[in-house]
Amino acid sequence: MYYHGGTPDLHIGDTIQPGQEGNRRHVEGCPICTARNTGNSPSADPIPNHDGVYVTTDREYGRYYASLAHRGTLYVVEPVGELILSAEDRFPTYICQEARVTGIYQRQVQLTDSQRRRLLARWIEADARADGWLDRWQSMSVADRRNLVNKSMRELYQAARESFG
């Protein structure tokens, strides 16, 4: 099953095409959106390549992107065209020519801090695996992992406050 997190205005049968959702990344008056779209975001979330439509098999990763679309929707989609593994993501994410909406998994997606922490922990583990320090991550106690994730969350929030203060 493939997921796509995006704007809340799509319906079953609609086709998502490259660049179609570019405006989803800018909510009027949102300083984080403005910073992200001008390349000044403290977030690790890059502006995506609009040469294709991104789909993922990881539901929580799809929910994350739906949450960025200001109460966006997590769609179940069917990729159209060749699936190419995305080199930009640590989670199983693919780029395709377009995607057809086959279902709506969740509307008005918002992540709690707890859900963001769990996803960040998975993100750190995926980075550790890709960057060759997975053994160090796995040898850490649960408390040390939690402290690292909480420290990363605090640093992101602090950077955001400084950028938009």
Query: Cα angle vertex 32, ends 37, 54, to 5°?
Result: 55
Q: What is the pTM of this model?
A: 0.78
C-alpha–C-alpha distance, residues 61 and 120, integer Å: 10
Domain boundaries, the chain: 2-106, 113-164
Give the class (CATH, top level) of 2-106: alpha beta
Asked whether 53 and 4 are in contact (CB, 8 A), the reply is: yes
pLDDT, tens digit, for every residue of 45-90? 555 556 899 999 999 999 999 998 878 999 999 999 999 999 888 8
pLDDT, tens digit, for every residue of 111-163? 998 998 999 999 999 999 999 999 999 999 999 999 999 998 888 778 777 77
pLDDT at 24: 47
pLDDT at 21: 55
